[in-house]
Amino acid sequence: MLGIDTNVLVRFLVRDDEAQFERARRLIKREVSAGRRVFVNQLVIMEAEWVLRSRYAVSKHQIIETLTGLLGAADVQFEDEPAMEQALFLWKDSAADFADCLIGAKNRRLGCRATASFDTKATKLPGFVAA
């Protein structure tokens, strides 16, 4: 299994630099052709969401569709996929940031009774409390 960094994932998704897109595509294809999966950790997902939203002005809806599609790909493995799915589900109908949704989902899966935050949008999420 080969882990990929945010820049590889973003270049593959947005295809804004043809040479880097092609390198990312070939790298992923090589791994899959060899029967290996590509690994995406949660830090990469959080950073990729931020880059897509802030740098490329991708809408929340498009980001959710893209990440949901990646979750369904058999050749991509995510760190704690259930937390990712839960975060996307919560984020869809929330004003909170995706990062907060993922932090809360991850903390619940790790056994936290709640996540304390000063962020008023985050404290409206299930499993969050005001600090």
Regarding whether 99 and 74 lie in a shared domain, the answer is: no
Regarding whether 73 and 11 lie in a shared domain, the answer is: yes
pLDDT digits (tens, 9 = 90+) for 14-48: 999 999 999 999 999 999 999 999 999 999 999 99
What's the number of domains the chain is made of?
2
Regarding whether 74 and 14 lie in a shared domain, the answer is: yes
15, 107, 125, 128 from 94: Cα distances, Å: 29, 18, 8, 13
Among 79, 106, 123, identify where a domain stops: 79
Regarding whether 93 and 64 lie in a shared domain, the answer is: no
Q: What is the CA radius of gyration of the chain?
A: 16
pTM of the model: 0.90
Across the beta sheet with 76-78, the strand order is: 2-3, 38-40, 76-78
> 38-40 and 76-78: which strand pairing?
parallel
Tell me which residue range forms the domain holding 50. 1-79
User: What span, in angstroms and rounded, lies between the C-alpha atoms of 95 and 120?
Assistant: 10
